[in-house]
Amino acid sequence: MNLNLFKTFVKVVETQNLSRTADEFGLSQPAVTKQIQSLEDIYGVLLLERSGRRLKTTEAGETLYQGAREIIKAVEKTDKAMEEVSESRKGTLYLGASTIPGQYILPQLLKQFKDKYPNVNISIDIADTEKIFNRVAERELDVGIVGGWTNNRKVDGSPWLEDELIIILPSDHRLAGKENLSIHDLKNERWIIREKGSGTRKATEDFLTSHNIKRDELNLYLEAGSTEAVLAAVESGMGISIISRWAIMKMDSSRRVKSVNLIEQDAKRFFYILYPRQKSRRKTVNNFLEHIKKAQDMEKA
C-alpha cells in the first residue's frame, strides 16, 4: 500500500475539501480525486460522500481514517527511532509554527539549515499558536515556534525573538499621517483582529487589558484567520488592526496600508521556541535548536 494514499485521504477527511488538500500537497484536484478512487477500488467501498459543499466520511471511510492515522503515526515514529539508532545527519525534522514566524521569519533560517544539513528532510506545519502548542505536547512535532506562551506540563520552551505590535491603517485614513499613536486614540475605530487561538490575538488582548481597555469595548468589525487576511481587510478600508512588525517588514511597499508605531512602550511580545518535555532529543533536533539560537543571538547583537 502506498503511504501517500493514506496521507491524502487523511488530509481530505480533515479539511473536508479536495481543492484545499490539493493545494497543501502541491497536487491537482483530479490527482487527489484519483487517489481517493484508488483507495475505494482497493477496499471496494465508498469512503466519502458529499454533505452540502463539504465531504463527509461514510462508516467505512471513518474506519479507514482512524486506521490510516495510526499507520502514518507508526511510520513516522519508526522513522524517528531509526534516525536515533543511525546517529547520522539524515532523517526528518517535524516543525510547527504560528503564522508570523512561519511565514516571515523561519523561511530564511530553514534555507540556511538545509544548506548545512542537506540530507535532513523538513516537514513544517503552519497553524495558530494553540494548535502548535497542542501538537508539540502530543509529540507530533519536534519543535514549535509560536507567538505566545501557555503553561503545559508536557511542553518545555523559552523566549526566542522579541516582536513589536504595530498599528496598521488604510492609507487614506485620517490618522495615516501620524508618526505615533496611543491605543486610547483608537478606541472608537472599527477593528479587525485575528481569530481565537492566534498568538497575535492574545498579545493584542493582553496589551489592551494592560491599558484598561476591554475587547468588548472595541467596535469589532471582523475576525480574520491570517495576517494576510488582516492586511487585505485593512487595505480595503474595513478598519484598523494591530499586527507584528515582522509582517510590516515583509509587506509589499505598493500595498495601500500605512503602519504607525504605538506610543506605549509595552507594545511588545516574544516568540517562543517549544519542544516536548523529554529527557533527550534526537541529534537532528538539537542541531536545529542550536541553529535558530544563533538567530536569537544575532537579534540581540
- Domain residue spans of the chain: 1-86, 89-301
Helix (H) or strand (E) holding 68: helix 59-86
**Pairing, β 143-146 against β 91-97:** parallel
Please, which residues have CB within 8 angstroms of residue 12's CB and are 6 or more apart in sequence?
18, 21, 32, 36, 48, 55
Q: What is the pLDDT of residue 183?
A: 93
Please, which residues have CB within 8 angstroms of residue 26's CB and are 6 or more apart in sequence?
none
Strand, helix or coil for residue 76 = helix
CA-closest candidate to residue 152, choices 135, 132, 137, 141: 137
Q: Which CATH architecture has domain 89-301?
A: 3-Layer(aba) Sandwich (3.40)
CA atoms within 13 A on the CB side of 41: 8
- Angle (CA) 64-67-71 rounded to 5° is 130
Q: What is the pLDDT of residue 225?
A: 86
Q: What is the domain class of 1-86 according to CATH?
A: mainly alpha
CA atoms within 13 A on the CB side of 35: 21
Q: What is the pLDDT of residue 85?
A: 63
> pTM higher than 0.75 for the full model?
no
Q: What is the pLDDT of residue 301?
A: 42
Read off the pLDDT of residues 159-213 as tens digits, 9 standing for 90 and up. Answer: 999 999 999 999 999 999 898 999 998 988 999 999 888 888 889 999 999 999 8
Q: What is the pLDDT of residue 76?
A: 85
Cell triple for 301? 547583537
> What's the burial of 177, exposed, middle or buried (CB within 10 Å: 0-12/13-18/19+)?
exposed
Q: What is the pLDDT of residue 25?
A: 83
pLDDT < 50: residue spans in the chain:
87, 301
CA–CA distance, 253 with 63 (Å, rounded to integer) = 50
